[in-house]
Structure 1
Amino acid sequence: MKASASILLFASLASAWRLEVWSNNNEHLNMHGTTNSGCVNFDVGALNINHAKFTKSSFADTFELYQNRNCDTLKYRNGEGDFTFNVKTIRSYKAY
């Protein structure tokens, strides 16, 4: 296998997942990574989220939104796509 083909193969395998969320007052956060995120707390505190868009990668095809810090009390889970839902107060997330 040529070096350029190897680089292209690796680049496609290491694609980044992307999670975007919007609050009901149009705040927008964008998170991304190339491996599973583990539990991540929002630095901004609680957000009243009503819209999420998730792009999967080779390492993460699911995202979860949690009501409390430290991924306590699951409020929403889905896979790749663009989703609008009833407002949920969210303080942490995972992508895996």
Structure 2
Amino acid sequence: MAPGLTASEYRRALRSGPTFVSSRRKDHTELIASAGFSHIEETDLTAEFSVTSRAWETERREQAAELIAAEGEAAFNERQSDLDVQSSAIEAGLLRRSLFVCS
């Protein structure tokens, strides 16, 4: 999740993101440092996360007939809705993705 969110933004981000996205409002860098790592490099991949989220939604829509046959219409619609909510939260600055390299 993005840093500095209000309580309502935090709740929206928590509902909008992938499962287990929360770190109980602790910064990931802080959590990594508390595990004993001293050299921490973070690369922001939020733009790529946004592109990927929208691409999943688009490609699933293009393959809707096959996916509905495989997973059922209700599951398909739920996943499409989840992807739209996630993409909107990324675009609103509530969700982000980073790559951490630590030693």
Normalised by the size of structure 2, how large is the TM-score?
Answer: 0.19
Between Structure 1 and Structure 2, the one with more helix by share is 2
Higher relative contact order (CA 8 A, sep 6+): 2
Higher-Rg structure is 2
Say which structure is richer in strand: 1
